Chains A and B, each alone.
Chain A
């Protein structure tokens, strides 16, 4: 612990002469970004990561277990894996010996993908523009607006859910894609605005001023100069937004219809049953549900961690 606490401060003091020597003969290190640590750090990080990951690992392991294996009392690390749970996610018999039915999970997975994808993109587009506005054209009472936006994030969901529920029923939005997408967009907006504003705030205005002097329009400045510099921020915001909407439960439970039901809602309805919780099945749903987010996070990780380039322009 203490060892890691001192680490970001790069060069170790005991090895300094050696490092100085190496830096003269070795390849030149890049002038920005983080220092390099070797395989030793990898080993340490691997141990920590695996401990941290263990509960998830156990969920994935459970998804390959039979009903009996999942409840075995000395917990089983080694067992004969089965794919039955994954097949049963999409079609299974609801009672012992009953007919095999389609569970509708294919549709629920599509719903989750479609609803989160569209709402995150919308929130990013609207939020980034708004954040740029807040950052570059301070309104009178700027702080008040920003604070109001933050306030909407502090709401206990329960305060808004009753009026939104009634509002959706009156306007016929309940159970439609448009309704739930609009709701999730708003859900993500405050975070998108605050996050992107903090990224825009850290950009140096000099570059923009130079471009304006050279005759660039405001729109061109935004797209050609500011936006490329905050790509890391966009990626990070997108990932957070995706995670929030992907897993949102309460609003989805109350406001999505049969046709627009998302996976968490369907998953919660799987928990009950005549033979207690079917842990294997539940684990299989969660494992499948986890894959898309992991892919997106992994794909955007480079952007996420290329905050390094971001450091070059800062201040």
Chain B
């Protein structure tokens, strides 16, 4: 797409790809990926790691050089990109390499190349589709709950009133708890005998109440805890939008006798739309990875009804010790998230562009 804009058109793409120049990051990337594959296949892990790291360094250097000469911004962005590359992209590529081998973390022998076998195994496993189904149900439930609750809370706090500071802190607190504590204590609240929820229900119905017994009960239990914990996050982002609306717009609208409903959609909403889209994006991504709470609350039960994809990955990796297969599954998950995010960003920016000119 934009790859041909910078260099003269006369130089063919392939020639540029293999040109031994310091700014040829595409070439370096190919060398890095190929070199790493060969290194993992032929050398013992300790040496192959350093060899791969050196090639990664080469790739990083070419990226920096590529940006350096021509962009002031490159200088500013480089430290962040380098760090991200070192701690995120490089391990990512390395584990991508691993997903083509039958590597097991608990075995010492050198892994052998199995090609796409791991992917085939994962995709032909009917359990995976079931887990994906579970994950999607949880994502839809928890994200919509968070958006609604967060938005309503933001509206509640969008005006100045006495003691606002203190009340706001109360609402923000759930977000600051650790997953370990939330998981443990919601299990405590849902406990059939001494749990608060069960006791409250027993008071009304007179019967013992076990929330986690049924599939939908467990789902609601997880979603309730997760949405309770993260609605304040949505609230903060929406609130940041709400307080940034200049007051004179409302005053002008009041003079023109614009209805409340219309004021909201024409004045307030454009200011919070971007931040709401951001909140939606971040929360969806997080919910897709839902692991800690499920792990601590239901451990996937009853049966496997609430086992999410992330939990499944964990099981394959650390309980079955099929490291490579878990990596393959994690990659499928990652790919799904990236595609969905891309679609989302595409539609979000397109709608923003439609709305912007005026």
Contacts and interface: CB of A to CB of B under 8 A. Distances in A.
A8 B95 contact: no
Given A9-B267, A140-B5, A311-B244, A264 B80 contact: no
15 contacts: A7-B158, A10-B251, A37-B161, A48-B156, A126-B79, A137-B74, A145-B81, A149-B84, A166-B49, A247-B180, A271-B184, A279-B188, A308-B244, A311-B244, A311-B245
A49 B89 contact: no
A133 B261 contact: no
Interface of B: 2, 5-6, 45-46, 49-50, 67, 70-77, 79-81, 83-84, 86-92, 94-95, 98, 105, 152-153, 155-165, 167-181, 184-186, 188-189, 193-194, 196, 199, 228, 233, 236, 239-240, 242-248, 250-251, 253-254, 257, 259-261, 263-264, 267-268, 274-275, 278, 282, 285, 288-289, 291-292, 309-310, 313-314, 317, 323, 326-327, 330-331, 333-334, 337-338, 341-342, 345
Interface in A271-315: 271, 277, 279, 282-283, 285-286, 289-290, 293-294, 297-298, 301, 304-305, 307-308, 310-312, 314
Query: 9 tightest A-B contacts by CB?
Result: A137-B73, A133-B76, A130-B80, A163-B91, A247-B178, A9-B263, A311-B244, A133-B73, A186-B87
A247 B233 CA distance: 15
Interface size class of A (residues with CB under 8 A): 35 or more
| Interface SS, B side | helix
B91 A286 contact: no
B264 A133 contact: no
Contact of B264 (A9, A49, A268, A301): A9
Given A35-B247, A129-B76, A133-B74, A45 B164 contact: yes
B243 A308 contact: yes
Interface stretch (A26-34, A81-89, A103-111, A206-214): A26-34
Contacts of A203: none
Contact of B314 (A39, A158, A185, A218): A158
Contact of A56 (B89, B164, B177): B177
A131 B55 CA distance: 28
Contacts of B175: 243
A8 B49 contact: no
